[in-house]
Structure formats: structure tokens, C-alpha cells
Chains A and B, each alone.
Chain A
């Protein structure tokens, strides 16, 4: 099986024209998944765009010299990245210099004209990410977004299929890693509010404290947020509070799969057991890109 091709099929099945990979933490294997997706799109001879949500952690990767997959892109791919990161060789076709900026300066959109490596960086603001993805969509029918640890807000307002990545490096223990991905999956898969009955409508973000107070005051009356990214707490707190709350949203997101990176620098989990546990707790098809396997 080709794991990346299966993930792409799941994205297409829900009608998405873009796919965003987000992780529970750094080194969750997001970039490995993105590289696999781009490789699968190349094999399908599809033109695609590639963007990043911020660039946090890239400098940290350099510090710890962690082996991260580089994006080796073939002719036709369209990338959004900081102008200073555009490779001099092989030269890319510059399509536009956007009005968006990241920490490294202005962001350009460029088309790959010859095979080579490209490092991508994106804007820090969620709204700017959406604008970049929209611009990429004018050049490519499908867009892949490399997520950042703490930039889930960038999913807001998009129709991305979402892939959740978790790795052995993400948490100190097997159980904790599984719990983190279960919480993220549950948060992003918040059910839609059907508009019937009484509900507490939260404007803006829902904090853990506010959620706990609502639970005390209103029991299981539905709490409605605009979309799952407005839930401002995750992990164990989310899982515990969820037991006492009926959380819903006005605009649902589309989590379609999980991926596991079972081997990290400091620890490794048994690949099959890890993938099985993640699939069981999240209820999502879970892929191991390293082993080309599904749980």
C-alpha cells in the first residue's frame, strides 16, 4: 500500500482541495507526512501547492540537528515561502511576492521548474495562512499545508482535510502520546450544533475555566463555539472536561486520518502497537508512513 495515496484519497472523499498536517507537538512527524503526500502527488502527476503554517521549530531543528525530511519537489509544484529561502539553484519561477510576511521577511509564491530541495516558511497569523492558501489555490488545484505545533487557529475558515500527527518524540510516555492525540482528535472533531434547543453560545475562545464554570452552572446544556479552534485548552484537561460538557461548534473541521512516527531520537514505541492504540482512541484511520502500514 501507499500510505500517502490513501490519505489523499480520504481528503478527496470529504471534498477537500487542501490537506493540512498538524501535530500534537514538535517532531510528531508532520514533515515526513508532508513529504510523503507531495511525493504521492508527484507520482499521480498532479500539480499541487505547498505552504507552511509559521516556521516555529525550524531553528530548533537546526540546533538539535534532528533529521527532518527536506521537501524535494519536482517540476510543476508551487510553493509559498519566504523570499530569502528561495533556492538560487535550481532557480524557481517567481509568480508573485505576496503582501504577507513571516519572521524571515516577505513571502513569495514560486513554481518549481527543475527538481530540487525547497524549504518553506509561512506567516504566523491564521488569516494570513488562509490568504496564502487561497493564492496557492489559484495556481494549483490541490494544496498541502505543513502545520505548526501551536497554530491550529490557521485551520479556521478553511476546508482542509486535516491529518493529525503524533510521534514518539511528542510525549514522555506511550500512554501520554496516545492521550494527546486522542484529545486533539476529539477537539478538532467537535460535532456541529444543529441549532435546536437552548445552548450557550461562546463568542471568541472558550477557556478551561469558563468551560468548568459553564459545567457547574448549566450542567450538560450544549456549549457552542464558532469552530473547534476556539477551544483554548487541550490534552488531558480537554478530555476530562469533555466528560461533563456537551461541546459543539457552528463550523466543523474535517479530521480524516492520524499518522504515527513511532521512532524518535530519545525513545521509540513499538510501531504496530502505537498505531493501533492511536486508531483505537481517536477512531480515525491511522497510518505509519515509515512502515507503509495502516492500523
Chain B
């Protein structure tokens, strides 16, 4: 993937991969075969996303769910195909699983063209297995497969009945002698004081003790003959059953290649359906994938956050942004700067994975690398020995060393844990380097003047409007909802305002800091501004 684990978490790529996870093993295998779309794959990416969008447009959510459920029911028969091709005789569970696979494919074929699934080969295997299908779902090596099998089974049943009769005859004599209702198979105990006479020849003593005999039934010649005939009949049944299995296995072997390709098609469809479900669920659009330029998003959503907010009964403000080159976004705390970065990354991940974009409209470019720097990029290459700043620098160094042809770089308050003066200097140097490389990127910061100094575009979050309700509620969720209602999350491009506020004091009050504390901070802010 064109991102590391820390970036995947930050931009929601991990979440996205879960959301578009296939339902079955074939789909998982198909996903493993895929590689992300990078720069130069524009045509392939357009085709892939168009296929997803086409399926999402053609089918209802209910049909997609039904198709996914059918795919999930398809067992993984790859091992069966290999063994059949190698000449092995399959077992009844294999035939059962093949039946399930064919039924799953039949079900899927209700929705898509059957030709995709090696229709002829499947029909042949279905016909071969048909006599063994029980109640529409089970499998039994039924007599209908072969006249010899039916004949041998009838003989075995008769032989078993004959042996049972002999065994019962002896058992009854023993039971009568012992005064018990019946004699169990295997060893049994006779108490000495319950025996009136010498043990009959049908009873063999295994062990003697002062108060009892441990015995078993001794078969006579007639019973032994019946047993031998039964065993012989069962051996013939075994041979007949194996012959049927061998014949069915050859039929499977003949169709194995076609069946494997059908399973591959099922896997591809699985991956496609998962993406179509995502596209449908999140009102995604087919983005324009340009070869050059940047991102232009209209009402784009960072879906993981939108879902979380929806669970809490809150609404999400989509983001519109046009980014061509490097930009800096400033604005108040809690104003959506970081979400803007995540949205760019999430859209990039969607396109790289061939998924329509959760937006009203989008123009994007493919990149070779999506990089998250700053807060949230917590991958620590040195087992916790590095400080936050050290981790940021190591992450930056690794990115600079890679030098991809094109990257999208998302920078969240880079170097915020060092002195503001030096942090600002490092941020400017980073943005200049990115600009020189022709990268695409957005940096969120509270530091003023960075965009101007680095000669990159500047974006500002609308910011906090007056609170419509007051005072601040004590309930945390209610306080957040109140702030959300007062916040203008829109991002506009324009010149930097050196005196722009981060609204930190107002937000602190809105989140429940006591009035005296906030007043003290206001005083300190006034004092702090004086020396400037």
C-alpha cells in the first residue's frame, strides 16, 4: 500500500479496508492479488471505479447484500481442486462442499451473467453430483449413483440383519441365564451369587473375582459365519463406494481448471460487491482522475468520523477544498483542520483502492505515496525511546529519503512539541522542500505566517461564531454539539491573517472551564500580547 501503518490509521485507510473487506475466502484471495492504483494507473483506476459505480447503480442495497451473503456461503474448495487434479479420490465432505459451492454460484448467477462462472463445467459437475444431493443441501453416496453400489448395500444390509439375528439369539440365551433384560455389547459383569449353575458356553470369562465374573459373549460357529459374511459384504460395499467416489473425482478433475477460474471470478465479484456496498451506503461518486494537478473536493466526507458522529446523534459537516500543490490550513481549535487532512488522505485511499469517493464531486490525481506527518503519526521505530519530536523527525527523514515521484503529504501541526520559533522554522523548511519537489500536500498549524514565508497557498477554517445558546452545558456530548453548531467548518482560500485567533479561550469556556479560570487566561493573553 502507498502508506505506512501510522498513516493508514490517521487517514482511515485501515477502517476503509475493513469496510470493503470481502465476505469469502475467494474474495480475500482476490484482494490479496490486487495492488493499489499509483501514478500511471489512471486508466485502470478509472475502469475499476467505474465498474464499482456501475454495479452500485444497477443493484439495490438488498440485492447486493443477498449476493454478498451467497458469496459468503461459498466454501473454499481450492484444496479439493488440487487433490482431484492430482488424481486423488475425494471424500464425501469434498463432494458436499462442491455442492455448496455450486449452489452459491447458482445463487450469485441470479444477479450477474452466468457466463462469468464457467457455466458448462459447473453444469457437468452439478449433474455428476446430483444423485447424491439430499434435501437440497446434503450429500450422500446414494444407491442411485451405481447399480453395483445398490446391490452390495442390499447384500450388506441382509448380512447385518443375519448377524444381528445370530447375536440376538445368543444374547437372549445369555440374558435368560443371567436373569437380565439384555446383554450389552462388549464386556459385562455377572455376580456370582446371581448364578445358579455352570456358565454356558455362550459366555466367555475375561476376569474372575470373588464376587463376580467379568464376561463377554462368545459367538458360536453360526454367528461367526454370519459375522464373516457381514464383514465380506461390507468390504464389497467399501469397494463399490470407492469406485463411485473415484468416478466423481475424475469428473471434478476434468472440470477443475474451469471451476478454479469460476472461483476466481467469484472472488473478484466479492471484492467488487464489497466496494459497491460501500459506494451505495456512503453516496459515493466517480471522481475525475486527472493525470496532473491536484485535488478538488466538493462536500467530501471522512466517513469514519461521520459514522461516529451519527452514532452519537450529531451531524457531520462535509468539506470542500481545492488543493493544487502545497497549502497551509489555519483556524480555531476543533474547527476541522485535522479532519480536512484526514479527508484528503481518505479520498486518496479510496482512489488507490478503486473505490468511488464519498463526496458530491471530486477531481483527484493518483499518487505513489500518502504520508502523514506530525500529530497521530505515532509509529515509533525505537520502542518508546524517542520523544514525540524525535518520532516526527524520523518519520520526516524516512519520507524525504523515499523521494516518490508524486506524493500527497498531510502535515498535522508538525514540530509543535519544540519551541514555537524553531517549530515554525522547521515547518517552513518542510513546506519549501515539498513545494520544490512538486508534491501535493496540506499542513495544519496554529503558527502564523508560515504559508506566506514558504510561498504556498493558505486556507482558513471559518471559525467560531457566537454561541446561539448559553451557558455551556455540563454534559460533554451536549457541549460538543453546542460547539459544532457554533462552528463554521467551511474552508476558504485567502491571505493569512497574522492576528487570527484559535478561539482557544472561548472553546475552553464552552467545554466547561470555570469563568474565573478563563478570565485569568484572558488577562494573561492581554499581558502576553503587550510585549509584541
Binding site for B on A (CB under 8 A): 1-2, 32, 35-36, 39, 67, 69, 72, 83, 86, 88-97, 108, 111, 113-116, 262-263, 268, 270-272, 288-293
Nearest Cβ on chain A to B218's Cβ, whole angstroms: 16
Whether the pair B211, A271 counts as a contact (CB closer than 8 A) is yes
Whether the pair A1, B184 counts as a contact (CB closer than 8 A) is no
Whether the pair B191, A291 counts as a contact (CB closer than 8 A) is yes
Within 8 A of A (CB), among B246-303: none
Within 8 A of A (CB), among B179-201: 180-182, 184-191
Q: Which residues of chain A have C-beta atoms less than 8 A from B408's C-beta?
A: none
Q: Which residues of chain B have C-beta atoms less than 8 A from A262's C-beta?
A: 189
Whether the pair A291, B189 counts as a contact (CB closer than 8 A) is yes
Contact of A270 among B97, B137, B211, B237 (CB under 8 A): B211
Whether the pair B160, A94 counts as a contact (CB closer than 8 A) is no
Nearest Cβ on chain B to A156's Cβ, whole angstroms: 29
Q: Which residues of chain B have C-beta atoms less than 8 A from A289's C-beta?
A: 184
Known contacts A39-B185, A95-B138, then 20 further A-B pairs from the complex at CB < 8 Å, ordered by chain A residue: A2-B182, A86-B92, A86-B93, A88-B238, A88-B241, A89-B237, A92-B92, A93-B140, A94-B93, A94-B138, A108-B93, A111-B140, A113-B140, A263-B189, A263-B214, A268-B209, A270-B212, A271-B212, A290-B187, A290-B188
Q: Which residues of chain B have C-beta atoms less than 8 A from A113's C-beta?
A: 140
Q: Which of chain B's residues has its CB closest to A269's CB?
A: B209
A93 to B131, CA, bound (A): 12
Whether the pair B139, A90 counts as a contact (CB closer than 8 A) is no
Q: Which residues of chain B have C-beta atoms less than 8 A from A111's C-beta?
A: 138, 140
Whether the pair B238, A32 counts as a contact (CB closer than 8 A) is no
Contact of A2 among B157, B181, B188 (CB under 8 A): B181
Contact of B189 among A1, A108, A290 (CB under 8 A): A290
Whether the pair B153, A94 counts as a contact (CB closer than 8 A) is no
Q: Which residues of chain B have C-beta atoms less than 8 A from A86's C-beta?
A: 91-93
Q: Which of chain A's residues has its CB closest to B149's CB?
A: A91
Whether the pair B156, A114 counts as a contact (CB closer than 8 A) is yes
A-B contact pairs, 18 of them (CB 8 A): A32-B186, A89-B242, A90-B234, A91-B92, A94-B96, A94-B138, A97-B93, A97-B97, A114-B160, A116-B234, A268-B207, A272-B211, A290-B188, A291-B188, A291-B190, A292-B181, A292-B184, A293-B191
User: Is B141 close to A, CB under 8 A?
Assistant: yes
User: Is B449 close to A, CB under 8 A?
Assistant: no
Whether the pair A292, B211 counts as a contact (CB closer than 8 A) is no
Whether the pair A97, B184 counts as a contact (CB closer than 8 A) is no
Nearest Cβ on chain B to A106's Cβ, whole angstroms: 8
Q: Which of chain B's residues has its CB closest to A75's CB?
A: B157
Closest 6 CB pairs of A and B: A89-B238, A93-B140, A94-B96, A291-B189, A91-B141, A290-B189
Binding site for A on B (CB under 8 A): 75, 91-93, 95-97, 100, 134, 137-141, 153, 156-157, 160, 180-182, 184-191, 207, 209, 211-212, 214, 234, 237-238, 241-242, 245
Whether the pair A36, B237 counts as a contact (CB closer than 8 A) is no
Nearest Cβ on chain B to A11's Cβ, whole angstroms: 19
Q: Which of chain B's residues has its CB closest to A5's CB?
A: B181
Whether the pair A93, B153 counts as a contact (CB closer than 8 A) is no
Q: Which residues of chain A have C-beta atoms less than 8 A from B137's C-beta?
A: 95-96
Q: Which residues of chain A have C-beta atoms less than 8 A from B187's C-beta?
A: 67, 263, 290
A113 to B156, CA, bound (A): 12
Whether the pair B184, A36 counts as a contact (CB closer than 8 A) is yes
Q: Which residues of chain A have C-beta atoms less than 8 A from B211's C-beta?
A: 270-272
Q: A69-B186, A89-B241, A90-B241 are in contact. Are A271 and B191 (CB under 8 A)?
A: yes
Whether the pair A292, B160 counts as a contact (CB closer than 8 A) is no
A193 to B481, CA, bound (A): 46
Q: Which residues of chain A have C-beta atoms less than 8 A from B181's C-beta?
A: 1-2, 292
Q: Which residues of chain A have C-beta atoms less than 8 A from B140's C-beta?
A: 91-94, 111, 113
Q: Which of chain B's residues has its CB closest to A95's CB?
A: B138
Whether the pair A1, B180 counts as a contact (CB closer than 8 A) is yes
Whether the pair A272, B234 counts as a contact (CB closer than 8 A) is no
Q: Which residues of chain A have C-beta atoms less than 8 A from B153's C-beta?
A: 90, 114
Q: Which residues of chain B have C-beta atoms less than 8 A from A270's C-beta?
A: 209, 211-212
Nearest Cβ on chain A to B178's Cβ, whole angstroms: 8
Contact of A272 among B138, B157, B191, B241 (CB under 8 A): B191
Q: Which residues of chain B have C-beta atoms less than 8 A from A95's C-beta?
A: 137-138
Q: Which of chain B's residues has its CB closest to A263's CB?
A: B214
Whether the pair A93, B134 counts as a contact (CB closer than 8 A) is yes
With most chain B CB atoms within 10 A of its CB, the pick from A93, A108, A114, A263 is A93
Whether the pair A94, B234 counts as a contact (CB closer than 8 A) is no
Q: Which residues of chain A have C-beta atoms less than 8 A from B91's C-beta?
A: 83, 86, 88
Whether the pair A263, B207 counts as a contact (CB closer than 8 A) is yes
A35 to B185, CA, bound (A): 9
A268 to B241, CA, bound (A): 44
Q: Which of chain A's residues has its CB closest to B143's CB?
A: A113
Q: Which residues of chain B have C-beta atoms less than 8 A from A97's C-beta?
A: 75, 93, 96-97, 100
Nearest Cβ on chain B to A277's Cβ, whole angstroms: 15
Q: Which of chain A's residues has its CB closest to B211's CB?
A: A270
Q: Which of chain B's residues has its CB closest to A72's CB?
A: B185
A99 to B95, CA, bound (A): 17
Q: A88-B242, A97-B97 are in contact. Are A39 and B184 (CB under 8 A)?
A: yes
A291 to B192, CA, bound (A): 11
Whether the pair B92, A94 counts as a contact (CB closer than 8 A) is yes
A94 to B95, CA, bound (A): 9
Contact of B180 among A36, A263, A292 (CB under 8 A): A292
Q: Which residues of chain B have C-beta atoms less than 8 A from A290's C-beta?
A: 184, 187-189, 214
Q: Which residues of chain B have C-beta atoms less than 8 A from A271's C-beta?
A: 189, 191, 211-212
Q: A263-B189, A288-B189 are in contact. Are A115 and B160 (CB under 8 A)?
A: yes
Q: Which residues of chain B have C-beta atoms less than 8 A from A83's C-beta?
A: 91, 93
Q: Which residues of chain B have C-beta atoms less than 8 A from A36's C-beta?
A: 184
A18 to B391, CA, bound (A): 60
Nearest Cβ on chain A to B454's Cβ, whole angstroms: 56
Q: Which residues of chain A have C-beta atoms less than 8 A from B180's C-beta?
A: 1, 292
Nearest Cβ on chain B to A60's Cβ, whole angstroms: 20
Q: Which of chain B's residues has its CB closest to A94's CB?
A: B96
A242 to B157, CA, bound (A): 55
Q: Which residues of chain A have C-beta atoms less than 8 A from B185's C-beta?
A: 35, 39, 69, 72
A83 to B180, CA, bound (A): 39
A2 to B97, CA, bound (A): 41
A263 to B138, CA, bound (A): 43
Nearest Cβ on chain B to A173's Cβ, whole angstroms: 17
